[in-house]
Structures are given as structure tokens and as C-alpha cells.
Amino acid sequence: MPRTLEDVLHYFLPEADDAPPKTPRRPRVAPAHHAIVAVPVGERDVVRAAFVWNLAVELSRAGAVATVLAPALREASSLWPDPGRGPLGSELVLTFADDVADLARAALDVAQARAAESPTGGGVVLVRVPPEWLAKAADAGPLLERVLLFSSPDPRDLKDAYALAKRLLWSAPTATLGVTIHGVRSIAEARRAFVRLAGATERHLFRSLVSYGLIVDDLHVYRSILNRYAIGLAHPQSPATRSLAEVAALLLRDVAAEETARA
């Protein structure tokens, strides 16, 4: 059965306010191939772009080769650090793709190039997809085989995430959709948000959502955006780092399991 938020909540947040958080499990064995994960991020969504970049850093820490691929759009220049290699070998690559079909081809090129560079190890290519490009998602091919959505518990964000899921499944009906709930302060808040979104998706779109955990509300997230640093390096024991590390672990485990099933 698809994993739900109930299966992973206890890795992030204590059951009681005075209980110490558990250190997330960080796998050291990466998948053997380079998986492509599409992440819809708006042109002004600096918070979720920061999650994508910091997730790449945590994937690298977990032993994978992590690359972020993003269109080199002028209006999105503030979303990312400088292109090239970053912390722990994570890398930002910009592409001049101007539609989803070009972006899909660029994603395949990057995945193949990284596989050639590291034939004995695998990794993940996180691809920033402008949400407006999803209107032509039928042209995206393998780019949308696995999609990661971010949503806060805010009802408007949940509604937007549902709309994205509906748009994606209309054009890519076999896509695997996962969601990470961010900006939460308690287990109950995260549970309510996930159940609401997953329930609507199952009732109306007849698909299950996979939980990729949560990212707790942490001032270090916003400070990292202002100061342009990786949270996991500057604040390795912060709640945000712990939760991002578990999101990375869940993603790697799913990619590895999918690879095993295909073998």
C-alpha cells in the first residue's frame, strides 16, 4: 500500500512537546541509476526553491549524486545559488529550455551525463518545473514519472497542490505523486493537512498520494534564504535539517525500491 504520513511522522516530531526529537535515518547506499524527480516551483516561490536546493544537499550527504536542474529564466534568477558545484558535491545546472518538452530532454541529458560520470553510483536529478508549463505536460515524457509537491497546511496551499495534482494526472496519468507538508509546528497539524489533501486526491482523482514527510517550521529556513547557505551545514542539528534529511531518505528509499522492482 502507498506510504502515508502516519508511517513517517514519528521520525520528525516528538509525540509530546518535551520529548527529544529522534535523529532521522540517513541511508548510505544510493540507487544505482539517476532518477528524475519533477518539482513544480513558481517563479517567486523562494521558500520552496530553498527546500529543493537543501534537499539536494541532504541527498548528497546521504551518499547520492544530487543535481538540481532549473530553467534559466530571468524572473527566477533569485530562486537559486550560483550555478555549479555546491556543498557536498550537490550541483545546480541551468538550462535554456523554454517549454516542458525542452526541459524533459535537458533532464534526460543531465541524468545520462551524471550516470556516465559516476557509473558505480546513482543519484537524483531534481527538476524545477514552472507550474504554468504543466498545461502541456503531455509533452514531458519521463520528466513527470515521479513528481514531488510541496504544500503548507494553509487551505489555499492545499487547494493549489490539489489543482497541480489534477493538472498533472490529466496529462500524465501514470505519474507517481508525492507530497511534503512544510511549515508545520505539530504532528496533528501535519496529519490534518496530509489527510485533507490525500483524501481529496483519492476521492476525486482516484489516486493515492505518497508521503515524503514534512518540514517543520524553523527560522533557519528563512535565514538560509537571506544568507544563501545550506541549512544542513550551518545548522546540522536544527529541526529543519532533521526533517529535510528524512525527506531525502524517504525519496532515496523509494527510488531504490522502484529500481529493484524493475530489475
Q: How far apart are CA 181 and CA 112, in angstroms?
A: 31
- What is the per-residue pLDDT across 179-217, written as a single tens digit (0 to 9) for each? 999 999 987 898 899 999 999 999 999 999 999 999 999
Q: How far apart are CA 202 and CA 25, in angstroms?
A: 29
Is residue 230's pLDDT more than 50?
Answer: yes
Share of the chain above pLDDT 90, in %: 63
- 154 close to 117: Cβ distance less than 8 angstroms: no
> Cβ neighbours of residue 116 under 8 Å, at least 6 residues apart?
none
Please tell me whether residue 39 adopts helix, strand or coil conformation: strand
- Of 166, 180, 158, 204, nearest to 58 (Cα)? 180
Residue that the C-alpha cell 520528466 belongs to: 143
91 membership: H or E segment, kind and range: strand 91-95
- Of 222, 214, 259, 256, nearest to 24 (Cα)? 214
Report CA-CA distances (Å) from 229 to 13, 54, 198: 24, 9, 33
Is residue 8's pLDDT more than 60?
Answer: no
Instruction: Report the pLDDT value the prediction gives residue 27, as an integer from 0 to 100.
Output: 42
Average pLDDT over residues 30-34: 62
Query: What is the pTM (predicted TM-score) of this model?
Result: 0.88
- What is the per-residue pLDDT across 57-100, written as a single tens digit (0 to 9) for each? 999 999 999 999 999 987 777 889 889 999 899 999 999 999 99
Read off the DSSP letter of residue 212: E
The domains of the chain, with CATH numbers, are: 32-262 (3.40.50.300)
Q: Give 9's pLDDT tier (boundaries 50, 70, 90).
A: low
Greater pLDDT, 196 or 136: 196
Instruction: Report the pLDDT value the prediction gives residue 26, as an integer from 0 to 100.
Output: 44
Q: Give 19's pLDDT tier (boundaries 50, 70, 90).
A: very low
Q: How far apart are CA 28 and CA 169, in angstroms?
A: 33
Instruction: Report the pLDDT value the prediction gives residue 121, as an integer from 0 to 100.
Output: 73
Average pLDDT over residues 218-231: 89
Instruction: Report the pLDDT value the prediction gives residue 145, as an integer from 0 to 100.
Output: 92
93 membership: H or E segment, kind and range: strand 91-95
Is residue 23's pLDDT more than 70?
Answer: no
Q: How far apart are CA 171 and CA 174, in angstroms?
A: 9
Q: How does DSSP assign 43-85, residue by residue? A: TT-HHHHHHHHHHHHHHHHTT-EEEEEEE--GGGGGGS--SEE
Is residue 7's pLDDT more than 90?
Answer: no
Phi, psi of 15 (to 5 degrees): -70, -30
Rg of the chain taking only CA atoms, in angstroms: 17
Is residue 17's pLDDT more than 70?
Answer: no
